Amino acid sequence: MIRLACIQPEILPKIDRSYSEVEKILNSLIKHHNNCDIICLPERWISPINKKELNIQKERGSTYKFIKNLAKEYGIGIISGALWEKRKDTIKPRITSYFFDNNGDEIYRQDKIHLYSYEKLNFEPGKELIVFSFKKISFTILICFDMAFFETPRLAAENGADLLFSPTQISVDGMSNWKTYLKTRALENRIPVVACNTFGTILKRKFTGNSKIISFEKDFISPSKLRVIEGPIDSSGYIYDEIDLAFPKKLRKLRFKEVIEKNAIIIRKTNKI
């Protein structure tokens, strides 16, 4: 059994206020669920603009240190959301998500692989998909747009991931598609999905939150039945759930036995009569 939560803070104009907002929600979560194993933050939870420029921090900068200290102080595994950071060994900055264990130790980081829209101009994509291990479970972090493509979730599931975490930044206009993507990725891979979405306004674009934890109702094998826990809409807050990973693992094993390699399927195009 794994105990999971999404913290959904409002984006505030100053970083120190954003830090306080996260810690306030974390304290509320712990008050009601003091045995949580992993917490996920949204892709954007601090203002993306700093003095009219993109808020790009140095590698393992102030926000990294804030999350690291939170994980250590509260004894909880934390996924940092997505940080924008400039590294010495990259040409452009990376969008990356760190995972800290309950001792505050950095386990590894996942760079965003599929860049979206303006991100292609300002950042460079990651090229590796990381499978993290923590408390005898394995998981992958798919940052927002990485969930919109079938190959990244499938590779994670095929390589031992028990869970897909997705820090996201989905505006009001994209919510309908996003909900479909999340359920589709869960069903096609028979794997739980934890998606933490941004709440607030960024450059006049509205983000409503409504984070989700998607798992499977036990004993529903064919057809499988999704269990969906939804976060607050248009407000800050958190969601929490407990998931028995043994059942979706059983479902995944059955599903992958039915997969046909695409190269084994013959493509035939008909001529127009």
Residues 6 or more apart whose Cβ sits within 8 Å of residue 210: 175, 197, 230, 231, 232, 233
Measure the CA–CA gap between 91 and 71, rounded to whole angstroms. Answer: 30
For residue 265, is it within any domain?
no
CATH number, residue 99? 3.60.110.10
For residue 171, is it within any domain?
yes
Q: What does the pLDDT read at residue 73? A: 97
Q: For the chain, which residues score pLDDT lower than 50?
A: none
Q: Express each pLDDT in 114-130 by its tens digit.
A: 999 889 999 999 999 99
Sign of CA dihedral 32, 35, 39, 45: positive
> What does pTM read for this prediction?
0.94
For residue 267, is it within any domain?
no
In the chain, the percentage of residues whose pLDDT exceeds 70 is: 99
Q: What does the pLDDT read at residue 183? A: 97
Range of the domain at 144: 2-258
Measure the CA–CA gap between 11 and 198, rounded to whole angstroms. Answer: 8
Q: How far is CA 180 from the centre of its chain?
A: 16
Total count of domains within the chain? 1
